[in-house]
Amino acid sequence: MKTLADLLAEGVAGRRVLVRADLNVPLDGSVITDDGRVRASLPTLRQLTEAGARVLVAAHLGRPKGEPDPKFSLAPVAARLGELLGAEVALAADVTGPSAKSTVDGLTDGRVALLENVRFEARETSKDETERAAFAAELAALLGADGAYVSDGFGVVHRKQASVYDVAKLLPHYAGGLVLAEVEVLRKLTTDTARPYVVVLGGSKVSDKLGVISNLLAKVDRLLIGGGMAYTFLKAQGHEVGESLLQEDQLDTVRGFLKEAAERGVELVLPVDVATAERFPDFGADSQPAPVVVPVDGIPAGRMGLDIGPDTERLFADKLADAQTVFWNGPMGVFEVAEYASGTRSVAKALVGSSAFTVVGGGDSAAAVRLLGLPEDGFSHISTGGGASLEFLEGKELPGVSVLED
């Protein structure tokens, strides 16, 4: 696999370089609420611009339906990227059309431009390889004869999409620093892992993590389960869960996980108490439903669990205390609301205080670290790609990585 260092050694001054970045940031209207992914893209962009490249960035935002939608425009991202780079970042009004062509033609050495949301183009995510290839050819044509492609958006490498996979087959291709760092870290979680190896999983649905649980049961020493997905496990053990999030169609699968963990000697740790409320919080409200902590065998009908309780916080901290490797993906509760953020904060603080190799698996977990004001350098690594991280740990091939190995 060729890397950014290889491309820089070849020389990029005056050349057009397409960088696929992951700039899929959360927005409140047109305001970026967490610019972590934008900041993560800076090292690769700076190395290229400092070497005199003419950098064209491709990225997506949200889930537009294959056509332009103003609410998913990358305009706020272009503005923030320009602030961080200290130079204006031009934004094309389309993806490969007249505006994109004129924007690229206007690039000078050491400057950066951004294409509009690549998912405004339906062929980007098409299942038809011919359609994707045609769109990829249009992207490649923007660069000219000596163009190059750098994959630096780890959050999308698990997708076989035109700007991630197909364009790499048409151009000299290189792994950016972010992708290299992510893959190196995740390989530490799958080969020669220091033990005890503990995985903490949260988030809303068990179904989102079936593959990773199945694969990790053969690899970990302990598996700690919190968040909304914990209630399906608790129900599988025979507990009543009131109005808590429950996936009844996954109960048999979860019972199988409990049985397999016991057979393999994996310690599968579930909450012993939870913070409950009568209704789900309204994120925009001035007041929130008051939490009432109850043991997991005493969740009342009509109440829902929204966070792990203080006894579980202490239990999880104890189970993390001797860990040498920890992977955490998914919040323990509704961390966006202060009344139900304690469990997520306690897990994060336990990792910050640990001497283990600690990896935060992107997504809501990474957002929670920043929202709760915890030091990012307190973790060994914070991934930029939750879905990609989980698929890697499931043992799946990541198309956007495998295509770079040709």
Residues annotated within the binding site are: 22-24, 37, 60-63, 119, 159, 209, 305, 336, 362-365
Known binding residues for (2R)-3-phosphoglycerate are 37, 119, 159
SS3 at position 398: coil
Task: Say how many C-beta atoms besides its own lie within 10 A of residue 161's C-beta.
Answer: 24
Rounded to whole angstroms, the maximal C-alpha distance in the chain is: 68
Those residues whose C-beta lies under 8 Å from the C-beta of residue 405, and which sit 6 or more positions away, are 1
Phi, psi of 240 (to 5 degrees): -80, 140
Q: Are 165 and 405 in contact (CB under 8 A)?
A: no
The set of catalytic residues is 37, 205, 363, 387
Pairing status of strand 325-329 against strand 304-308 = unpaired
Those residues whose C-beta lies under 8 Å from the C-beta of residue 362, and which sit 6 or more positions away, are 155, 329, 382, 383, 384, 385, 386, 387, 388, 389
Instruction: Please tell me the number of Cα atoms within 13 Å of 278 on its side-chain side.
Output: 3
Those residues whose C-beta lies under 8 Å from the C-beta of residue 350, and which sit 6 or more positions away, are 316, 317, 320, 321
Known binding residues for substrate are 22-24, 37, 60-63, 119, 159
Those residues whose C-beta lies under 8 Å from the C-beta of residue 5, and which sit 6 or more positions away, are none
Q: Are 40 and 383 in contact (CB under 8 A)?
A: no
Q: Are 77 and 23 in contact (CB under 8 A)?
A: yes
Torsion angle of C-alpha atoms 5, 7, 10, 13, degrees rounded to 10: -110
- Residue in the block written with tokens 């503005």: 79
Alpha carbon distance 111, 13 (integer Å): 11
CA distance from start to end of the chain: 7
Known binding residues for ATP are 209, 305, 336, 362-365
Residues β-bridged to residue 198: 222, 326
Q: Are 394 and 215 in contact (CB under 8 A)?
A: yes
